[in-house]
Every structure is written in structure tokens, then in C-alpha cells.
Structure 1
Amino acid sequence: MPPLKRKRDYARIIIILSGVLPLLLGILFTAIDARHTVEQQQISAANTLLSQAEKMSDSAWDMITWLRRFHYRPCNQFEDELQRAGNLNAYFRAIGKLEGETVTCSSAYGTNPGTLTDMMRRAPPVTGKAWWSLSLAGTAGVPDRPAVIFVRQLADDEGFWAIIDGQYLMDFMSAIGESRGYRLSMRFDNGAPITVGEAPPPRSSLFSAQIYQAQSSRYPISVTIETPGAELMRAWRQVTFIFLPMTAILSILLMVLTANWLQRRISWRDEIRRAIHARQFSVHYQPVYNNRTQSCTGAEALLRWTLPGGDSIRPDIFISAAEAEGMIVPLTRHLLDLIAEDVQQWQVEPGFHIGINVAADHLQHPAFVDDMLKFADKIKQTPLLITLELTERSLIKDGEDVARKLDRLRADGMKVAIDDFGTGHCSLSYLQTFALDYLKIDRGFINAIESLSGETPVLDAIINLSHKLQLEVLGEGVETALQYCYLRQRGVTFIQGYYYAHPMDNDALIAWLAEHEQQPMRIEDSDDAQLHPS
């Protein structure tokens, strides 16, 4: 019977596919896991190599620091000490002194004159820095073996240099990479690569060579590790025997995970509701410093959840759960009630800002405006000014409706701030589309500040853009005097972060305001020393 035979054929195909699919998934997952395993091995090897290179660099800069004792002294007065130091210290091929680009003395070649270019067999790099390092394919004395040169140039045109023999690095690299067939390459700044190992043959398959690159956080040193496909294949075989049997219980595992996920969703909703009724939530406040008035002129309200046993649930966890469970609006209303209770006890100057984080779902809720107006009515006896802090994604959906709501609330005296600016997906045009008062710079950009004279182009661009749009700027997550002074120099009015004050509960805030509200920011001595290095 042809129709029956066709059904049997279709059934066989479905059975085969149902058996092959988990196998294919297993092969795919084991291949991914094998690559991950190899990557972890590469990361470990790269960290080890960078650590050794950093130690060698530390030795080189320590040697140059020691050489500076011979500043202003002619070479013939310390030639013996120079040779002894160059011979007795590990790693070094030669050390010496410079005048301009002239090598005036060397532990290897005495006082024979020469130039830095001749010794390096290339022109010195143009770095604009008084100190620099560079990997070399060779030097005048040893042209066929790599080296690394370290140079410190002083203001009076004198300088000192040290050359580390690249053989030390090559031996160390060989010891790490030989067992796995790595091809390792290390570069100091934009110098010549120091390379060991054979280049893997080119392959266009699932197990082609895998490349990993890493950069030192302390020095301009980069490492490249190239793993051959044969090593990936070996790692895949090891993982396969462990992973493939798990495909037999994949469907059971998915059911268990789904059941747990559903149970957790239900429990989160119920737990948040119970916590609101049990008053397990409280509000902490983080003061905001005003550079113009040199005083505290506001505070951000931060919701906290403390369980009866004293343990706390992280805000990012319960807020995300509340948004997923549709509980963010009741939770925000509870936050407003808690704030209204707390602020009745505050003794602050008129115009003191109270910053309130507004979730996107609440902002787009039909009752949002009424909720905020009711809150404003509850605190009307206080001199507080309400600031609504919105994330960028809050403005993306239903933009016209959101704009009308914000205009309505601003007409009643409230202010609007964009929180964590630069981390969302908001178009820059929104800064002009919506009526805004403040822009809060995300702490990720502020963490990029490394020195007062350094450049943080994205941060500077945000600050300049805010000034052009006549928006007040607040820097979040300021934790050091360096960050504070950098922002103050660039006209950032408001500062918020651990450097000024930690978040605190209502009682602690009242005591803190009584003592610190009118006090100007005090730069700590230890941080101040870092701002003005000798």
C-alpha cells in the first residue's frame, strides 16, 4: 500500500531526525565548550606572560631609577659601577647614559660614542613622553636576537637607558607554549614582535586556529597567542565524552528549568507584595554636592529591601523582578509613600532636590501623572523640589505621550533628569525633543578618568553637549579626589558618589545634614597628593 509505506518512511525520517538533532546539538555545544576551554588556557598563558614581562619592566625601570644617581656626572667617574651593575643584574644586555640622542656611556661598550638610533638599528619612536619602551628585532651588538629597550629622558637633555635581552622572554614563552603548540608573540609599544613557535597551517573548518590577544594594564605590552586547530580538536575530544550523554536527559532538564522559572516568577510577585505590606522596604538617601554653592543641595532616594532575618536583597535583583512581574508601579507608589513619611522630619533649605528614579513602565502608566501629583501634595509643606530621574529607554516608547506627561509635571515645578546617560539606546535628538533639566553621567565614564591632564573624549563630549544644551550636569559614582577635580574643572555642577557621601537611612541622613549640609567639599590629603605628583 503506497500511502501506508509513505507514512512509514516519514516516520522513519522523523525518528532519525529526532535522534540526529540532539547529536548535532551535542557536537555544536562541545565544539563551543572546547573553544571556551582553549580560550581559558590562552587567557591563563597570556596573564602569565604579561606578568613576567611586567616584572622585567619593573626591573628595567628600577635600574633606570638607580642610574639617575649618575646624573650630572661624567661617564669616566662611574664606568666601573655601570659595568658591574650591568653584569650582575639578571635580564640586562646593557645599560647606560644619554645626552640627547648620543650614547655617552654603556656597560657593554664603555665610553665609545654612538647614537641611540645606531644602537637600536632604527629611529627612536615619537611618543611625546619622557619615558618609553620598545621591543627591537636586535641591537647593534647583538643584531640577530630580540631585545627590549627602556629609555628615561630628563629635562636637561640627559637620559638613561636599559636593554633587556629578549632571550629571557623567548625562553619563558617557549616553556609556556611548547606543550600546546602555541605560536606566541609579544610586543612592547609598537616595536618589533618577539615571537616563538611555528605558525599553524591555514584551515577553514570548525577547528581552525584560534587567536587571543591581551594587553597589560600597567605597561604598553601586548601578547598574541595563536592556538593550532589540532589543539582545539584534542580539547573537543576530551569534552565530547563528558557532554554527549547529557543529551539523553535534555528534555527532562528543560522541563525542570521551566518549572523552576515559573515558580520563581510567581514567588517574586508574591514576595514583593508581602514585603510591601510587612514594610520590609526602606529608603536610603545619597547626598548630592553642588559645586556652585559648595554645599549639599539634594539627595537621591534609593529603595532597599531588608528581610526579617537581617539579610538584604540587591536592588538590581528585586527591581528587575518587579518589572518582569508587573509589580514596578505598586513598588514605586510604596517608595513615594516612604519618602513622604521621611521628609517630614528634614530641616533643609528651600529648593533642596529629592531625586526619584522612575521606571519606564510607570512612566508609561496612565496613572503616572496622578501618582506624582499626589506625592507632591503630600510633601507640599516641605521646601523640597522633586526631580524625576528617567533612564534613556524610558523615552523611547510612546515618546509624544511621555513628553506631554513631563511637560505637565514640569509645569507644577518638578524637574526632569536623564539617569545613567550614555548607557542606553536613546538617540541624541531626544535631548532636544524632551523638556529636560539635568543630565546624570553614568559612573562608567567617570571611572575612565585616570589623570587631570588625561583625555576621556566620550566624557568630555557629554559634558560639552550638556553645556551647549543648557542642561545641568551631575557626575555619578565619584569615588576619588582625582575624579572630583576633573569634573569640577570641566564645569560639572553636581557631584554624587562615595567620595562625598555614601547612601544612608533617614535617621543617618538627618544627622549628616545637620553637620555637613553647608560644608564645602574637602579634598582628602592622600588623594590631593596624587593630584600633584612630584
Structure 2
Amino acid sequence: MPLLKRKRDYARLVIIISGVLPLIIGIFFTALDARHTVRQQQVSAANTLLSQAERMSDSAWNMITELRQFQHQSCSQIENQLQRIGSLNPYFRAVGKMEENRIACSSAYGTKPGSLSDMIMRDAPVTGKAWWSLSIAGTAGVPDRPAVIFMRDLPDGEGFWAVIDGQYLIDFMRAISSTHLYHFSMEFNNGAPISFGDPQIALSGWFQPLIYQASSSRYPLSVTLIASPSELISAWRQVMLIIMPVAIIFSILLMMLMANWLQRRISWRDEIRRAIASGQFRAHYQPVYDNRQQRCSGAEALLRWTTPDGNGIRPDIFIGAAEAEGMIVPLTRHLLDLIAEDVQAWQVEPGFHLAINVAADHLQHPDFVDDMLHFADRVKDKQFLITLELTERSLIKDGVEVARKLEQLRGCGMKVAIDDFGTGHCSLSYLQTFTMDYLKIDRGFINAIESLEGRTPVLDAIIQLSHELELEVLGEGVESALQFSYLQRRGVVFIQGYYYARPMDNAALITWLARQGEQPVKANHASETHQTVSL
């Protein structure tokens, strides 16, 4: 009970974890998706702002190109035209002309001379270029509003400049931020930032803000966009409304499946024990055909489990569970008991092969030899040729001890067969290490007879190897006349499969042996044979 209770407690924990895990994964991926969504919105907003700034820069440089028509003209000649140009074109706060590194005239101040540093309220940058632009905190005329100056120096000491009002960019930032809580900051040539939004958004909330920076490929301007953590939370909430209901449904389904699987898994040991006690297991037998004697020369015992409600449990399921739960030895001993009871009613000749599958755990068990000798003693009046069928996995552990056990049983008249030959990784080494009598070719190689257009080099090699080692060969899983004839022509003595006979219970086997056991098989009479095996 304490062990079973621990298993049930473990099962509850696994079920809870299986239910919580999809929710955690859902939350994690919704967070990633929300972050991706906010990032895409930032990219779109930053690219839109950069495009607008590039268009304004294009206008500024086009304006300077237009102003070059006033080269070598005095300010008194161009004053009115400068004022007209400055007032009629959007974006511009002022345009003007430079002479000898001083402002000679402008649309805003007329012909009053002044220095460039006074107008932009800072020293002019040293760029070493005739073309340059710079974002500034303000101008002498409008000191509290940012702007961008564009300058073209000419070789003769003259130059032209244009100042774009930063308010246009700020208004554009405001329009973009109407649906999002962003903080924008734009710089031309690492100048003063042109900003919009609350810079404190980067400090609000438990989440880190998303910061995105982008630069123009055409001009020396960059933009930094900070998204408030509330933007991420809002996007996360929207995604969760879509994803989390699906995650919850999946979580519930996974918990149900896990609970069902664990219930079956944990209760296998008790279920098998109860099934043995209540007689739910039955031995079935699949006849084996002898090509030399042209009749049935043996049968393989197979265990079947039918529950009280009439449903059958697949052998690969309950045998695997029995191995995992430590019940395979009691289950095999129960099979031996069933066989010993069934064969009392058999009418077979001495030397009839009786094949029994041996599990790896039973083979390693200290009582294995005694179990098999006790079984042989119970059926000795039938003079069976008992064959122990072992898989390659059975021979992996304690090879020397296993070999000793098998030799002891062989000395008592039993035979040893290696089952499903060729499906493991060490078959050839086993043939050298252990003394074998029979080799059963796996059905996968038999099926290749029809799937490889008549070319089966691996199968042919196995058969030839068996002949060289003087081992009797049994082909299992034979299902067609073509497979039967192919094996028969290559000297395979024993044939087992649906083509000859299906597994059947004890009563059906007794009837079948009386009617069909002595009948030879003709490969060209497939339909007739299938009718006989259905009995």
C-alpha cells in the first residue's frame, strides 16, 4: 500500500504538471508573440518617421539648390526673393546666404549680418564637408523650439543654408503616438534631439521598455523609439485572449490523457495479478509446418488476455507492462501452467515441437532452469521437443551465466531458438557465443520477398548463413503463396504464419490438428488453405 500510495501521489503530481505545463508554455509564447508584435509596430513607426524626415531633407537640399541661383548677387538684390521663398515653402523657418563664414542675409532677418553660431546658438560643427546638416535645440529667433539646419559651403567663400522647423517632425511624432504610448527622439548628425513623448515611460512598471533604434540609409539621421511597458502588456493581453483558451482546452485534454495513461500504468501490476487469479489468460497456439515431413510438426504457445467484458488486451501492451512492473516471471509461470493443462488432450506424435517464448527477466531469474525442468516433467508423457525461443535482448546481460543455463537445458533435451533474427545489433556475435538449434527469420525480411521485386539479398544471406552453421531455419510471418514457395525453394524447413494457420485456442487447435495437421501445403492452393485456418 505505501508503494501504491507513492505511485498515486506521483501520478497526481504528473497530472498537475501536465495540466500546468501547457499554460506556462502558452504564457511564454504569448509573451514572445506580444513582444514581436510591439517590435513590429515600433519598426513601422520608426520607418514612417524616417521616411518623413528624409522627405523634409530632400526639400531642404532642393531649396539650397534653388538658392544657388543667387550666387554672386548682393543681399540687397535678393532680399525680397529670399523672404518670398521662405514664406511660400512649407517646413522652412528661414533660408539665407553665407559670405565669409557669416550670415549675410536671410528670409527672417533681412540683411542684418550675424554669425552662424549666434543663429544656431552653438558652435558650428566641424565636418570637413561642403554639405552638412545638424539638428539644433533652437535658433536665435525661436530659441525654445528645435530645428534642423542644412548648409552648403561653396568654394568662393559663399554658402547657402535652410532651417527646417522641428515642429513639423514633432507633430508627425504626435500623430503616430495617437494610438500608442511612445517616446520619440530624432537626431541629425548627432545633434540636439528632437523629441516627443514622456521620457519617464522607460521607468514605469515592472517590465522593461522596448527600445528600438533605426538610421537612414540616405542621410545622417537616426531615430530612437521607446515603447512603454504598458504597450507590451496591452499586446500581451490581446494575444492571450486568443491563445490561452486554446491552451486551456489543450491542458484539460492532456490532463485527461495523462490521468488515463497513468491509471493504466500504475494499476498494471494489480490488474495482471487479478487476471491470473481469475483465469483471464488463455494460451493460444500457432501451428508450424515442416517442409520435409509435409505436415504440422509443432506449435508456438502464445499468451492472450481477455477481460471479463470480452475485450482483448494486445500482447505487446500487457507483456511490456509486465516486464516494467516485475510481473513477467509470474506471468510466464502461469503460461507454463496453462500449457501443461492444455496439452493433456493433445494427440500428437513424439518429437512434436512445442515452442515457448522466454522473457529476458525470466532467463536472468535464479529459478529459470528449475521452472523449465518442472514444466518438462509435467508434460514428459507427451514426449515433446520443447524449444525455448529467445530474443537477442534476452542474451545481452550475464552472457556466461545465460550460456550455462541454456547448455544445462539442452543437455536435458530442450532446444534453443533465437527469435526475430536480424532485428537487433549483435545477432552474429550471439551465434558465436551461444549454442543455438533454430533460427527464426523475422517477418520483416519475409515481407521483403514481395516488396523488392524478387531480390532479397539479406534474406538469402541469412538462410545461407544458417545452412553453413547447420542451424534449422524457421520463417515466421509467412502470409502468401509467393513467400511460402520462395522459402521452400531455398531449403527453409519450418514455416509459420497466417498462410498456413493462425493462432488458435486449445479447443480449436485440437480440431485443427485432427483435420489439417497431416495435410501437406501446396503453394498454389492459397484460397483453400485460408479456408482451413479459419476453423
Find the counterpart in structure 2 of residue 385 from structure 1. 385
Cα-to-partner distance string for 1:224-262 (whole Å, 9 max, x where unaligned)? xxxxxxxxxxxxxxx999767666799988877665544
Query: 1:439-454 alignment to 2 at 5 Å?
Result: 439-450=439-450, 454=454
Cα-to-partner distance string for 1:303-356 (whole Å, 9 max, x where unaligned)? 111122222111111111111111111000000000000111111111101110
Find the counterpart in structure 1 of residue 409 from structure 2. 409
Matched position secondary structure for 2:329: helix
Q: What is the letter of the counterpart of residue 371 of structure 2?
A: D
- Whether the 8 Å contact between 1:474 and 1:496 is mirrored in structure 2 is yes
1:277 positional shift? 0.6
Cα-to-partner distance string for 1:268-304 (whole Å, 9 max, x where unaligned)? 1111111101111111111000111111110000111
Query: 1:97-108 alignment to 2 at 5 Å?
Result: none
Find the counterpart in structure 1 of residue 433 from structure 2. 433
- Whether the 8 Å contact between 2:22 and 2:247 is mirrored in structure 1 is no
Q: What is the letter of the counterpart of residue 456 of structure 1?
A: T
**2: CA distance, partners of 1:523 / 1:240:** 66
**Unmatched segments (≥5 aa) in structure 1:** 1-17, 31-238, 529-534
Matched position secondary structure for 1:393: helix
1:512 positional shift? 1.1
Provide the alpha-carbon RMSD of the alignment: 3.2
Find the counterpart in structure 2 of residue 376 from structure 1. 376
Find the counterpart in structure 2 of residue 355 from structure 1. 355
**Unmatched segments (≥5 aa) in structure 2:** 1-20, 34-238, 529-535
Q: What is the letter of the counterpart of residue 516 of structure 1?
A: Q
Matched, 1:268 2:234: no
- Whether the 8 Å contact between 1:297 and 1:353 is mirrored in structure 2 is yes
Classify 1:408/1:248 alpha carbon distance in 2 versus 1 (closer, same or farther; 3 Å).
Answer: same
Cα-to-partner distance string for 1:18-47 (whole Å, 9 max, x where unaligned)? 9998479759x99xxxxxxxxxxxxxxxxx
Query: 1:130-529 alignment to 2 at 5 Å?
Result: 260-450=260-450, 454-525=454-525
1:367 positional shift? 1.1
Normalising by structure 1, we get a TM-score of 0.52
1:527 positional shift? 7.5
- Whether the 8 Å contact between 1:343 and 1:379 is mirrored in structure 2 is yes
Classify 1:484/1:370 alpha carbon distance in 2 versus 1 (closer, same or farther; 3 Å).
Answer: same
Matched position secondary structure for 2:382: coil
**2: CA distance, partners of 1:25 / 1:354:** 60
- Whether the 8 Å contact between 2:355 and 2:386 is mirrored in structure 1 is yes
Q: What is the letter of the counterpart of residue 440 of structure 2?
A: K
Classify 1:492/1:25 alpha carbon distance in 2 versus 1 (closer, same or farther; 3 Å).
Answer: farther
**1: CA distance, partners of 2:22 / 2:325:** 37
Cα-to-partner distance string for 1:76-124 (whole Å, 9 max, x where unaligned)? xxxxxxxxxxxxxxxxxxxxxxxxxxxxxxxxxxxxxxxxxxxxxxxxx
1:451 positional shift? 8.3
**1: CA distance, partners of 2:284 / 2:524:** 25
- Whether the 8 Å contact between 1:348 and 1:383 is mirrored in structure 2 is no
**2: CA distance, partners of 1:312 / 1:462:** 35
**1: CA distance, partners of 2:277 / 2:269:** 13
**1: CA distance, partners of 2:501 / 2:251:** 51
1:427 positional shift? 4.1
Classify 1:258/1:482 alpha carbon distance in 2 versus 1 (closer, same or farther; 3 Å).
Answer: closer
Normalising by structure 2, we get a TM-score of 0.52
**2: CA distance, partners of 1:287 / 1:466:** 22
Classify 1:243/1:291 alpha carbon distance in 2 versus 1 (closer, same or farther; 3 Å).
Answer: farther
Cα-to-partner distance string for 1:407-453 (whole Å, 9 max, x where unaligned)? 11111111111111112233411111101111111111111112898
1:361 positional shift? 1.0
Q: What is the letter of the counterpart of residue 296 of structure 1?
A: C
1:466 positional shift? 1.2
- Whether the 8 Å contact between 2:328 and 2:361 is mirrored in structure 1 is yes
Aligned residues: 303
Q: What is the letter of the counterpart of residue 284 of structure 1?
A: H
Q: What is the letter of the counterpart of residue 310 of structure 1?
A: G
Q: What is the letter of the counterpart of residue 503 of structure 2?
A: P
**1: CA distance, partners of 2:429 / 2:28:** 44
| Aligned sequence identity (%) | 73
Q: What is the letter of the counterpart of residue 433 of structure 2?
A: T
Classify 1:323/1:490 alpha carbon distance in 2 versus 1 (closer, same or farther; 3 Å).
Answer: same
Classify 1:459/1:266 alpha carbon distance in 2 versus 1 (closer, same or farther; 3 Å).
Answer: same
Matched position secondary structure for 2:380: coil
**1: CA distance, partners of 2:485 / 2:443:** 15
- Whether the 8 Å contact between 2:23 and 2:244 is mirrored in structure 1 is no
1:483 positional shift? 0.2
**2: CA distance, partners of 1:441 / 1:243:** 52
**1: CA distance, partners of 2:493 / 2:243:** 56
